[in-house]
Amino acid sequence: MKFKVPFIIFACFLLCSVAGAQSLDSLRIAAQTAVDEGRFEDAELTALRGLRAAEAVDDLAEIPFRVVLATIYVAREQQGFALSEFRRIIAINPAFEMDPVLVSPKITTVFGQAKREYVEQVLSQPEAYRLPEADAKLSASWRSAVLPGWGQAYKQQKVKATVFAVLQAATLAAFVAYIFEADARKDDYLAITEHGNPLIEDRYADYRKAYRTRNILGYLSLGVYLANYYDALYAPVRTNTNR
């Protein structure tokens, strides 16, 4: 009995998946048939129904319905709508091509225009937007490891890049300054050789203060550096979408 419930659930899920796939196939065939027969209103309604169903399944499942819609819009001289559908298709699958043997030259011309516009748009974007997310983050991380803020600038996050660069420069400069300050206060303290000199406690207190300040600034500088590195490595890359 223990194994029956999971099996029944799995079987129901499988049947629903098969039914959904069959429904999409039937809608796709019906939409394409209506287009071939010149029944554009029926084809458009069917394609829109199929598109709504496909959006819940997978982006690739949208393509046949968007092709039907683009074909209808070209036939109606609604080039703007046709370009929009073709651009969405290319955004889903950049390798998609229209078969010039099966479709009219008018449709392939509009599709070619959409593809050129898509490629121009992609090439106009910064490299970090064109790379896969993981690759862009890796490229940003080594830049921030070399120079804090550089990785964020690479990801076009200019405010964050400026904040990390300024904080790193400020804390690092203060840390270096207090290294010399602590050494100077130490030398002043050790310079007192007379036992019972009333300045010895003040000199020691100055040295301890400089020593603690130096350490705090060192930890702050290290914290900024690590925050900068992990932000470059893990923070999302801001991307554009055509959806």
pTM for this predicted structure: 0.51
Question: Do 92 and 60 touch, CB atoms closer than 8 A?
Answer: yes
pLDDT at 9 over 70: no
Query: Which range (85-99, 110-124, 126-140) has the least confidence?
Result: 126-140
**What pLDDT, on a 0 to 100 scale, did the predictor assign at position 122?**
73
Minimum mean pLDDT range among 3-7, 61-65, 153-157, 230-234: 3-7
SS (HEC) of 58-113: CHHHHHHHHHHHHHHHHHCCCHHHHHHHHHHHHHHCCCCCCCCCCCCHHHHHHHHH
Position 211 pLDDT exceeds 80: yes
